[in-house]
Amino acid sequence: MEAKQYIGEGWKHAILIIGAIVVMLPFYMMVSMSLKSQQEIQSISGGLIGAQETQTFPVCVKTGYSEETCTMKPYQYNYWFAFEKAPIPRYLMNGVIVTLSIFIIQVLVALPCAYALAKLRFYGREFVFSMVLFCLLIPVHGIALPLYVMLAQAGLVDTYSALILPWTISVFGIFLMRQFFMTVPDELIDAARMDGMGEYAIVWKVMLPTAIPALLAFAIFSVVAHWNDYFWPRMVITGNRDLFTPPLGIREFRGGIDSDEFGPMMASIVTVTVPLIVAFIIAQKRFIEGITLTGMK
Amino acid sequence: MHNSKAHIWFIAPAIILMIIILIFPLFLAGGISFTDYNLGNKTFEWVGLENYDKMFNRKTYVKMIWATATYVIVVVPISVVLGLCAAMLLNSLRFGADIYKTIFFLPVMATLLAMAIAWEFTLHPTLGIVNSFLANGCGGVREFILGFHWMPWVDSQESWYAVACANNMDFPYWLKQKNTAIWTVCFIGIWQAFGFNMVLYLAGLTSIPRELYQAAEMDGAKSTWEQFKLVTWPMLGPTTLFVVTITTIRTFQVFDTIEILTKGGPSKTTYVMMYAIFEKAIQQNLTSIGAAITVVFIGFILVLTFFQRYVIEKRVHY
């Protein structure tokens, strides 16, 4: 390789590293603040992790804990106090309940429909498919207001149903699965029918297993979108903390309950953001596939 | 051919849900937008186009259209171009491309609300590392580069950087100042979106056959730029169309960063449509005006997607 090429390669890395630093800035800030003490945060000192000196935290004492309980290292304190202040496990559990329910119902609705559209011949099939194509154009966040009015009239605001119902239909899921099922050979289905399987059994025992790769991509897409969604929960959950999803929990933390202390707040934010990021780093390829393949939404 | 009626049970749930959740709300929003209905009222009156009239004549809503347009017009092109540049750089690297790819994709994955708060602290005038980085650079290389002193027409005493240094480190309060807030929010939008575009472009680049570059070289396109113009850019046409459409639709829906960082302010410079719908309809319970904004919003999105599907799509496929 020529010297010129080395220089070219070096320039590219220089540009990309600057870009990477800018991209990582808020992540650095978030992790660093969740580890440091309030004084270190306010004086912007201590680098990434701070000095980690054992100390007694005044806000903690004021809240009513004994001085002994409140004496520890900053990183321990920040995470411990974040969990003391807010029911973070509850928020995380709500996040899991909501995202999983949405995904399961989406599959239960979309899979049979996609199978019918791809492999069954019936009157009106083209019409149903064009309806799916039309619905693909409608962004659910865009029609949030009329949906909210409907839920309010039904008395469902501030319930799990409000968080889940609007997302039960994924036209994108139907479209994706239908395209996938078109590639499944008819012989497979005919053989299953010869064996005496009914149409229901075919959907769940023959089609579902063949669709696992597409389903996995769709699962990642769906879970990431709804775990991170803030707009919709913010609309329909007004005050009931028991129903808060992780983003709502973060917002409450910032909303002033202990705005005099940033460490525990950032610790709660890190706690909520970490599960997805770790999953992403472990199964990176699948994530990128899932999110871009289905990025059409 | 078979005679079972199974298909009815297979498609019925999907059709019912599509009608209730996706199609009916369109008509409901349209209907409410012609009334004075507010949530909780027992009755309502038809008011014709009054809500739309307000939208296009009252200052607040004119500012809303401006803020939304500014945000979309800034974020879409920059994040698309950055995505393309990043993809092409990564594609030409000998090693290390995967690490950069992971890093650039992180913002797409991370909870945007959490990252907005992290940015708020990063950009904070007294707590943030950005302003302390700038303050420590007064009189040095940072001032020279970021103050644009290297541009011939910039006076090194009068640049924004020099002025801030001279005035006791008076660097912008990025998110609270009228002249910087919208650009800062745009920056966060770009930061979040470009990694997604990069990944789509990387996929697009791998599908360009190598022979095309050899052919171009034989035709005399030797420089990288000429090859880009002749081969890469035209071949990426469909990808670009797809990327631009998705980014536009997502950008129109910006809400999280606005709600947590600026609340539409200062003086409505960041008052984007989704936030306006939320503020008017949910917080102030002005359902009918919220519905009118919804209708305009959906209109924008539908026009855009139709444009993509039926007008341009025919021209970019070969």
Using a CB-CB distance cutoff of 8 angstroms, which residues of chain B are in contact with residue A166? 21
Q: Is the CB of A145 inside 8 Å of chain B's CB atoms?
A: yes
Instruction: Tell me whether residues A150 and B28 touch, CB distance under 8 A.
Output: yes
* Structural domains of chain A, count: 2
How many angstroms separate the Cα of B281 from the Cα of each of A5, B42, B273? 59, 17, 12
Indicate if the pLDDT at residue A59 is higher than 50. Answer: yes
- How many residues are recorded in chain B? 318
Q: Which domain holds residue A35?
A: 3-85
Residue with tokens 């594609």: B91
What does the pLDDT average to over A41-65? 77
User: Of A52, A85, A118, which residue sits at a domain end?
Assistant: A85
The residue among A145, A231, A268, A285 with the most chain B CBs within 10 A of its CB, best to mutate, is A145
The contacts of residue B11 (CB under 8 Å, 6+ apart) are A112, A113, A116, A117, A128
ipTM score of complex:
0.86
Give how far A44 is from chain B: nearest CA, Å.
6
Quick one: A95 and A81 in the same domain? no
Burial A124-134 (b: 16+ CB within 10 A, else e): eeeebbebbee
Quick one: A76 and A93 in the same domain? no
Instruction: Tell me whether residues B25 and A292 touch, CB distance under 8 A.
Output: no
CB-hemisphere CA count at 13 Å for A247? 28
User: Of A85, A120, A153, which residue sits at a domain end?
Assistant: A85
Using a CB-CB distance cutoff of 8 angstroms, which residues of chain B are in contact with residue A26? 115, 118-119, 122
Indicate if the pLDDT at residue A293 is higher than 70. Answer: no
Quick one: A177 and A241 in the same domain? yes
Residue range B48-125+172-316 forms a domain whose CATH class is mainly alpha
Q: Say what percent of chain B tops pLDDT 70.
A: 96
User: Of A66, A85, A104, which residue sits at a domain end?
Assistant: A85
Quick one: A135 and A201 in the same domain? yes
The pTM assigned to this predicted structure is 0.88
Using a CB-CB distance cutoff of 8 angstroms, which residues of chain B are in contact with residue A239? none
Give how far B111 is from chain A: nearest CA, Å.
5
Residue with tokens 């008509």: B27
Find out whether the peptide bond into B266 is cis, omega within 30 degrees of 0.
yes
When comparing pLDDT for A214 and A47, which is higher? A214
Tell me which residue of A68, A109, A47 sits closest to B17, measured CA to CA.
Answer: A109
Quick one: A37 and A146 in the same domain? no
pLDDT for res A258: 47
**Domain of residue A240, CATH code:** 1.10.3720.10
Quick one: A122 and A231 in the same domain? yes
The contacts of residue B59 (CB under 8 Å, 6+ apart) are none
Instruction: Tell me whether residues B256 and A150 touch, CB distance under 8 A.
Output: no
Indicate if the pLDDT at residue B318 is higher than 60. Answer: no
Instruction: Tell me whether residues A146 and B255 touch, CB distance under 8 A.
Output: no
CB-hemisphere CA count at 13 Å for B246? 22
The residue among A91, A273, A288, A293 with the most chain B CBs within 10 A of its CB, best to mutate, is A288
Quick one: A145 and A166 in the same domain? yes
Instruction: Tell me whether residues A29 and B6 touch, CB distance under 8 A.
Output: no
Pull the structure tokens for residue B120. Answer: 């708020």
Average pLDDT, chain B: 85
Residue with tokens 């889940």: A164
Measured N-to-C along each axis, helices B97-109 and B59-91 cross at an angle, to the nearest 10 degrees, of 160
Burial B133-159 (b: 16+ CB within 10 A, else e): ebbebbeeeebeeebebeeeeeeeeeb
pLDDT for res A259: 61
d(C-alpha B44, C-alpha B24), whole Å: 19
Quick one: A123 and A216 in the same domain? yes
Indicate if the pLDDT at residue A1 is higher than 60. Answer: no
Instruction: Tell me whether residues A168 and B17 touch, CB distance under 8 A.
Output: yes
**Helix spans in B147-286 (H):** 160-166, 181-206, 210-218, 224-227, 233-235, 237-252, 256-257, 273-277
Tell me which residue of B247, B246, B109, B255 sits closest to A223, measured CA to CA.
Answer: B109
Residue type present at position A266 = M
Residue with tokens 């409450």: A252
Q: What's the pLDDT band for B1 if we cut at 50, 70, 90? A: very low
What does the pLDDT average to over A285-297? 65
Quick one: A22 and A100 in the same domain? no
Indicate if the pLDDT at residue B218 is higher than 80. Answer: yes
Query: What are the boundaries of each domain within chain B?
Result: 48-125+172-316
What does the pLDDT average to over B30-53? 83
Indicate if the pLDDT at residue A83 is higher than 50. Answer: yes
CA trace torsion A260, A263, A267, A270 (10° rounding): 100
pLDDT for res A198: 84
**Span B266-316, pLDDT tens digits:** 888 899 999 999 998 888 888 888 999 999 999 988 888 877 777 666 665
Pull the structure tokens for residue B10. Answer: 């297979």
**Are A226 and A168 in contact, with CB atoms under 8 Å apart?**
no
Indicate if the pLDDT at residue A93 is higher than 90. Answer: yes
CB-hemisphere CA count at 13 Å for B100? 28
**Are B58 and B276 in contact, with CB atoms under 8 Å apart?**
no
Pull the structure tokens for residue B55. Answer: 């939208």
Which of B96, B107, B301 is opposite residue A139, by nearest beta carbon?
B301
What does the pLDDT average to over A133-154? 88
Indicate if the pLDDT at residue A297 is higher than 80. Answer: no
Contact map slice: A 218-277 vs B, CB within 8 A: 224, 227-228, 230-231, 234-235, 246-247, 250-251, 254, 262, 266, 269, 272-273, 276-277
**Span B229-257, pLDDT tens digits:** 888 888 888 888 888 888 888 899 899 99
**Span B84-101, pLDDT tens digits:** 999 999 988 888 888 999
**Are B276 and B264 in contact, with CB atoms under 8 Å apart?**
yes
Quick one: A74 and A199 in the same domain? no
